[in-house]
Amino acid sequence: MTDPVGKAPDRLWGGGYAQDTHPLVQKLNASVGYDQKLAYDDIVGSLAHATMLRDQSILPEDDYAAIVTGLRTIWADIAAGRFVWSVAREDVHMNIEAALRDRIGDPAGRLHTARSRNDQVALDERLWLRRTLGQIAGYIAHLAAVLAEAARDHANWPMPGYTHLQRAQPVTVGHLLLAHAEAQLRDASRVLDCLQRLNVSPLGSGALAGTTLPIDRDKTSALLGFAGPTRNSLDAVADRDHLVEAMAAAALGAVHLSRIGEELCLYASAEFGFVRLPDAFTTGSSLMPQKKNPDMAELLRGKSGRVIGDLVTLLVALKGLPRAYNKDMQEDKEPLFDAMQTWGDCLQVTADMLAAAQWQKKALLAALDKGFLLATDLADELVRAGMPFRTAHEKVASLVAELVAANTTFGKLGAVRLADKLGVDTGVVAAAIDVRKALRRRDIPGAPHPGRVAREAVAMGKRAAKVQALAQAWLVPCAAERLLVGDAA
């Protein structure tokens, strides 16, 4: 719940102002409408900070106990939807601090000791992003596992492979699915790399120059599960590289999902008929009763533009900013939240859609007899018979042109007549025009040999499981989170 924007209140802090804040300034300045997503992380960060202040004898034990109890009750209200967010209090930080003051009185004023909103928001974003990227890495691992399982089930299902969207050479459905799984694991690698780099604590950097009070940054860092504190206070409050990295990974990840969506749209069409999408992921037409539209696959394409736009928004907001914090940086949150939410949702729906997709063997086999997909195999056989490749290429190209004019195919013509036209023995071409034999002859690493595809699908499943374990490790609650639910710190 959020209260409406009304008459601008007196300034929350600071002095020497002759006028109240202009109402539109209040509206534009306020970020609580979206940064309330950071509430959990803000409270966790405050618990760590308060614990450190107590341990450093900066915060009295009684005040510490009151602060911890007050923050717990505030989080309970937020989680239950009872907390009223005030636009007049600008942002998530001041809403929580003011609510704490309302509940426990003067001790709340000690919580912000040796802390600025600058290092506070930098901390909250790292905590939120660490948890969110851990979840997203898990979604990616699940999608890769779904692709691996489907690839294993379809390891020996031949289908046309395409370049320039023209039939090129035979592959298998499993080989295609594993190609998409490889891209997903690269996305997961980028996420895990980003997690390693962002896992340092800016808390204690203050507004830009730290504090004169005897705080213990190593203590708060450990309570929050970070590898250590940041090494430069100016950089700590100004740095948003981790947001850019995460959103760049999201943009590329969305592009990878878009390419899956494009293939599903094509292959589910009547013109291809290679796959049937489940009803749960399609919609009907408002006019044409026979239509079943692949809306989710189409949205995978469309949402990629949104995520790319979020990345550009953040880069433009950061461009040219001097060190350290500037109000422009308030504009980092909406694109960040949108990109991560969109990517996470798309990953989950893609996994569910692919798990239920039904590949159509008859349509795939019928398509293999069109387009002369084994022309390169024929040329390879001529090379084995001693012919230079360029000569073999020209010879087969001329043959294909002749067969196209005659409206026939390799299969219809047969091995005997093909061999006669090429001037070679029948045995030279017999295996080259059999799709299944042609696939089995592609017995090199990374090729679509059905046996290799099946083994690679099993290996992909294991690789996905390792990513899932790494992702889950980032979701283990830190000490400050355990303190929120009542464990001692």
Whether 129 contacts 198, CB under 8 Å: yes
Query: Per residue of the chain (489 residues), what is the pLDDT tens digit?
Result: 655 444 444 455 555 666 777 878 777 878 999 999 999 999 999 999 999 999 999 999 999 999 999 999 999 999 999 999 999 899 999 999 999 999 999 999 999 999 999 999 999 999 999 999 999 999 999 999 999 999 999 999 999 999 999 999 999 999 999 999 999 999 999 999 999 999 999 999 999 999 999 999 999 999 999 999 999 999 999 999 999 999 999 999 999 999 999 999 999 999 999 999 999 998 876 667 566 899 999 999 999 999 999 999 999 999 999 999 999 999 999 999 999 999 999 999 999 999 999 999 999 999 987 878 888 888 888 888 888 999 999 989 998 899 899 998 888 888 899 888 888 888 778 878 889 988 999 999 999 999 999 999 999 999 999 999 999 999 999 999 999 988 765
C-alpha to C-alpha distance for 365 and 274, rounded to whole angstroms: 9
Write down the pLDDT at residue 7: 42
CA neighbor of 247 nearest in space, from 347, 327, 185, 314: 314
Write down the pLDDT at residue 30: 81
Whether 261 contacts 298, CB under 8 Å: yes
Rg (CA), the chain: 30
Which of 22, 269, 285, 398 is labelled catalytic?
A: 285
Which of 164, 256, 286, 398 is labelled catalytic?
A: 164
CA neighbor of 68 nearest in space, from 89, 53, 85: 53
Write down the pLDDT at residue 5: 44
Write down the pLDDT at residue 9: 47
Whether 93 is catalytic: no
Write down the pLDDT at residue 421: 86
Residue 239 forms beta bridges with which residues?
A: none
SS (H, E, C) 346-364: HHHHHHHHHHHCEECHHHH
Q: Which two tokens stand for residue 435?
A: 């799709």
Whether 201 is catalytic: no
Chain length of the chain: 489
234-273 confidence digits (pLDDT tens): 999 999 999 999 999 999 999 999 999 999 999 999 999 9
Q: Tokens 């896992």 map to which residue?
A: 199
Contacting residues for 275 by C-beta, under 8 A, at least 6 apart: 264, 267, 268, 357, 358, 359, 360
DSSP, collapsed to helix, strand or coil, labels residue 318 as: helix
Write down the pLDDT at residue 97: 97
Q: Which two tokens stand for residue 232?
A: 């430069």
Sign of CA pseudo-dihedral 413, 417, 421, 427? positive
What is the DSSP track for 115-149?
Answer: --HHHHHHHHHHHHHHHHHHHHHHHHHHHHHHHHH
Write down the pLDDT at residue 1: 64
Write down the pLDDT at residue 62: 98
Write down the pLDDT at residue 12: 54
Q: Which two tokens stand for residue 462?
A: 């294991």
Write down the pLDDT at residue 343: 98
How many helical (H) and strand (E) elements, i.e. helices and strands, does the chain have?
Answer: 21, 4
Write down the pLDDT at residue 18: 62
Sketch out the chain's domains with CATH numbers.
23-110 (1.10.275.10), 118-160+173-213+226-360+459-482 (1.20.200.10), 372-440 (1.10.40)
470-480 confidence digits (pLDDT tens): 999 999 999 99
Write down the pLDDT at residue 296: 94
Write down the pLDDT at residue 433: 84
Whether 194 contacts 217, CB under 8 Å: no
Write down the pLDDT at residue 418: 86
Write down the pLDDT at residue 274: 98
Write down the pLDDT at residue 2: 59
Contacting residues for 239 by C-beta, under 8 A, at least 6 apart: 122, 202, 230
